[in-house]
């Protein structure tokens, strides 16, 4: 058919030769996905990932990333979401409806606590908070209407390491699925299914990205029925991710373990140095004995990454500790972790934890990939500002 200029600007006759191959996976950008013919369109299923129907329901780029992420955890299915928090929301909306009950640890990632409160206030769901160190005692909290148990290991501010096998066993006996926020471990220090979790969630924003340059989340399962329930919520909520961001996460994966180990080694040195300082009352790092649940970490985990907290001695006021934080030059004041830059964040822990008994101001460090000696020197000069 003859085409005018305007039409040929849209419909090109050129087709690149086939047979191209390279290590990086292709980046497929699409809202509309084309069908071969009407019959093919009518026979397409969005659910089982055997074909493509619409950009929102997956492209070769997102399917490839999902498969690679599932493999890290030893899972079978994975669904991407545009942020870690939207991955959390997908899980809550997949498993909770009016009249249901959800159990969340008291140290849960704060926006998930906020979501629990919203579900309780406006959606008729009961959201109850439990002591993260409860272990098998969770059995006594599980009611007939309890439909989901959240776990997080460790809590990402106060760093308690729960007894995950005990919690998962107790929930399994009552037939309640356990969701694990495994962001801290990146699926490297801990594989969620090995300790009995049914649903493993990640903020890919952290180590998987590794660049502090994007937001994304993932939900991984082994069980087909659980995945289908999640896929329903994923579809209904419209949780699509951009192809370029999905590509960037894939670009980060090959170096993730090496980065994680580098963060881990450096963070332990910084934490050990802090532990020896008179200004610091406690180092809340799962590999250190001060940390609640340290023995659980020793039993279940293989590494620690770059994130930990400290409690300043009670003689230092919030104002003094704020001065210390402001005086740091290599640590940016900001949320998140997993990128090359070190970060620091003081927390008003008593405002987010009802049962907090420790004294002293809590400061969280994310040790990045800078030289460890430089980071320690920076902390040392900032401590003089106390």
Ligand X SMILES: *Cc1c(COP(=O)(O)O)cnc(C)c1O
Nearer to ligand X (CB atom), residue 280 or residue 343: 343
Report long-range pairs for 35-41 (Cβ below 8 Å, ≥24 apart): none
Q: Does 67 bind ligand X (CB under 6 A)?
A: no
- Restricting to residues 192-251, name those near ligand X by CB under 6 A: 203, 205-206, 215, 217
Q: Closest distance between ligand X and the C-beta of residue 284, in Å?
A: 15
Whether 116 contacts 102, CB under 8 Å: yes
Nearest residue to ligand X on Cβ basis: 84
How many other β-carbons are positioned within 10 Å of the β-carbon of residue 384? Answer: 9
Residues 6+ apart with CB under 8 A from 38: none
Looking at the Cβ atoms of 85 and 243, the one nearer to ligand X is: 85
Half-sphere exposure of 221 (CA within 13 A, CB side): 18
Q: Considering only CA atoms, which of 115, 193, 135, 180 is closest in space to residue 154?
A: 180
Question: What is the maximum span of the chain, computed from C-alpha positions, in angstroms?
Answer: 83
Is residue 181 a contact residue for ligand X (CB under 6 A)?
yes
Dig out the tokens for 263 from the structure: 């963060």
Among 183, 208, 209, 366, binds ligand X (CB under 6 A): 183
Q: Which is nearer to ligand X, 84 or 135 (CB)?
A: 84
In angstroms, rounded to a whole number, what is the distance separating the alpha carbons of residues 280 and 358?
13
- Tell the smallest beta-carbon distance from residue 215 to ligand X (Å): 4
Binding track, positions 113-152, relative to ligand X; x by CB under 6 A: ---------------------------------------x
Q: Which of 125, 80, 79 is nearest to 228 (CA)?
A: 79
Residue (33 or 352) nearer to ligand X, CB: 352
Binding mask 26-65 for ligand X (x = CB under 6 A): ----------------------------------------
Binding site for ligand X (CB under 6 A): 83-85, 109, 152, 156, 181, 183, 203, 205-206, 215, 217, 336
């Amino acid at each position: 058919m003859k085409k005018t200029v305007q039409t040929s600007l849209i419909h090109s006759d050129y087709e690149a030769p086939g047979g191209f191959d390279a290590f990086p996976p292709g980046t497929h950008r699409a809202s509309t996905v084309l069908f071969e013919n009407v019959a093919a369109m009518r026979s397409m299923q969005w659910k089982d990932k055997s074909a493509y129907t619409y950009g929102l329901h997956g492209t070769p780029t997102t399917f490839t990333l999902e498969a690679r992420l599932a493999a890290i955890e030893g899972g079978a299915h994975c669904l991407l979401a545009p942020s870690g928090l939207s991955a959390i929301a997908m899980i809550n909306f997949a498993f909770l409806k009016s009249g249901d009950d959800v159990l969340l640890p008291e140290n849960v990632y704060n926006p998930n606590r906020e979501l629990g409160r919203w579900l309780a206030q406006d959606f008729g769901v009961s959201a109850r908070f439990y002591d993260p160190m409860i272990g098998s005692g969770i059995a006594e909290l599980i009611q007939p209407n309890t439909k989901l148990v959240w776990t997080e290991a460790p809590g990402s501010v106060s760093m308690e390491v729960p007894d995950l096998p005990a919690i998962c066993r107790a929930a399994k006996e009552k037939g309640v699925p356990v969701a694990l926020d495994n962001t801290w471990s990146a699926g490297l220090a801990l594989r969620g299914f090995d300790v009995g979790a049914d649903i493993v969630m990640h903020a890919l924003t952290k180590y998987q990205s590794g660049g502090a340059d994007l937001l994304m989340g993932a939900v991984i399962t082994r069980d087909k029925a659980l995945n289908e329930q999640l896929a329903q919520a994923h579809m209904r909520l419209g949780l699509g991710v951009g192809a370029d961001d999905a590509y960037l996460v894939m670009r980060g994966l090959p170096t993730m373990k090496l980065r994680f180990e580098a963060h881990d080694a450096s963070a332990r040195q910084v934490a050990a140095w802090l532990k020896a300082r008179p200004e610091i009352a406690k180092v809340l790092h799962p590999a250190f004995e001060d940390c609640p649940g340290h023995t659980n970490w020793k039993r279940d985990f293989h590494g620690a990454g770059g994130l930990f907290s400290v409690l300043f001695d009670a003689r230092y006021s919030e104002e003094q500790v704020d001065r210390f934080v402001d005086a740091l030059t290599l640590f940016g004041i900001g949320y998140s972790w997993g990128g090359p830059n070190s970060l620091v964040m003081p927390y008003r822990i008593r405002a987010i934890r009802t049962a907090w008994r420790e004294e002293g101001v809590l400061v969280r460090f994310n040790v990045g990939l800078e030289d460890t000696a430089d980071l320690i020197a920076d902390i040392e000069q900032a401590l003089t500002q106390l």
